[in-house]
Amino acid sequence: MIQIDDSGSGSLIGGTCIGMMRAETGEYYHDIIPLKYYSKSNFPKKKYLHHVVKIVEKGLGVLGAFQKEPIQICQGYMFDKLRPWLTKNHYPWHSTQITGLLQDTVEETFEKYTISLGFPQQYIKYTKYPFHFHRILRWVYADYEHRERLCKVGWKSWQKYGKIPLEIRYDNMPNKHYHCLKCGKTLEPGTKVKILRFTSNKPNIIYLHMEC
């Protein structure tokens, strides 16, 4: 049996990871939907859903799936174009909640992918919701010039929050244990720091090293 799941469709940064696994052996295949499909021009056309079909078609070949082999698909919208494609090509499938090894593996794959983009590992390791939109937004605004290109800019939420004015000031670092959201290094209490303020769903404060 082949299982298919996704991770990252709700993350502001990065594309979306599509993962496939043969349940009996643990054989695994994955690919990432490129960010270009989340651009302002492509996202409304839902081209990312068509790319899912391309990824799965290739994955079925890599895993050596035979046409009568059962396929389980995550219930999410990411597979809205895949389901009719599987039917058309005579693959037996049904939608279900994917749990266990594949779910864990595809989530880990997406986490490693975002870390490769520069996303802080401590956000993932210590935060219950590491890919929460407004948490990622703080990270993006800490280095907007370089991180905007990592975002799903076709999202309506990006249209709303992607161009927020920043208030910039300089002061001493409070007695808190924070990391600079630009370079990732520790901010020492009492040292001079750059402070960015903006309001999205709530007021946000970002502390950076002076040189950052």
Q: What is the pLDDT of residues 146-203, one digit of tens each?
A: 999 999 999 999 999 999 999 999 999 998 888 899 999 999 999 999 999 999 999 9
Q: Is the same domain home to 138 and 77? A: no
Choose one of 116, 149, 174: the last residue of a domain. 116
Choose one of 97, 116, 135: the last residue of a domain. 116
Task: Find the CATH number of the domain harbouring 93.
Answer: 3.30.420.10
Strand (E) or helix (H) holding 82: helix 82-88
Residue 88 has pLDDT above 90, yes or no: yes
Q: What are phi and psi of 173, to 5 degrees?
A: -65, 130
Give the list of residues 6+ apart from residue 201 with CB closer than 8 angstroms, or none. Answer: 134
Q: Is the same domain home to 66 and 17? A: yes
Choose one of 100, 116, 132: the last residue of a domain. 116
Domain encompassing residue 153: 121-209
Strands across the sheet with 93-96, in order? 28-33, 16-22, 2-7, 71-74, 93-96
pLDDT digits (tens, 9 = 90+) for 96-152: 999 999 999 999 999 999 999 999 888 786 665 667 899 899 999 999 999 999 999
Q: Is the same domain home to 109 and 127? A: no
Q: Is the same domain home to 158 and 70? A: no
Note the pLDDT of residue 128.
57
